[in-house]
Amino acid sequence: MKKASNEAIAVKVDVSDSESVQNMVNETVKTYGRLDCAFNNPAYVSAKHGVVGLTKAAALENGQFEIRINTVAPGTIDTPMLHEALEKMGVKPEDYAPQLSLLNRFGQPREIAHAALWLLSDAASYITSTPVYADAGYIGR
């Protein structure tokens, strides 16, 4: 993000298509002059496992260039889409959250953002090839 204006762009990319990935990099460099970091947010279990594999492979390929590659695997996040789905299921959030969270609540979008920002910061400068499960312990069940 540009420090002065807090400006960001989003570029839809299909990571299985190298042209799509290159377009994302090109758009970023065109807008900001360089690419400092990229964030991938997998939404479903199978996608998360695929992203973890891609993360490890990319880290192996790029570590020699001192490029760190990590991923955040979020749990169930409190969003309008979640509430819509729960309503369709006839389930109350407070009844359902304990099934998906050892903390008995849904995550907040800012909590996922904080995990990503930490991974992208110098505070995580020795971390690579690592999935961070921001899921309130769900993966450990």
Are residues 102 and 137 in contact, defined by beta-carbon separation less than 8 angstroms?
yes
44 is catalytic: yes
Distance CA 16, CA 84 (A): 30
DSSP class of residue 133 equals E
Q: What is the largest CA-CA distance in the chain?
A: 51
Are residues 76 and 82 in contact, defined by beta-carbon separation less than 8 angstroms?
yes
Q: Among residues 44, 96, 133, 138, which one is catalytic?
A: 44
DSSP track, 83-120: HHHHHHHT--HHHHHHHH-TTSSPBPHHHHHHHHHHHH
Residues involved in catalysis = 44
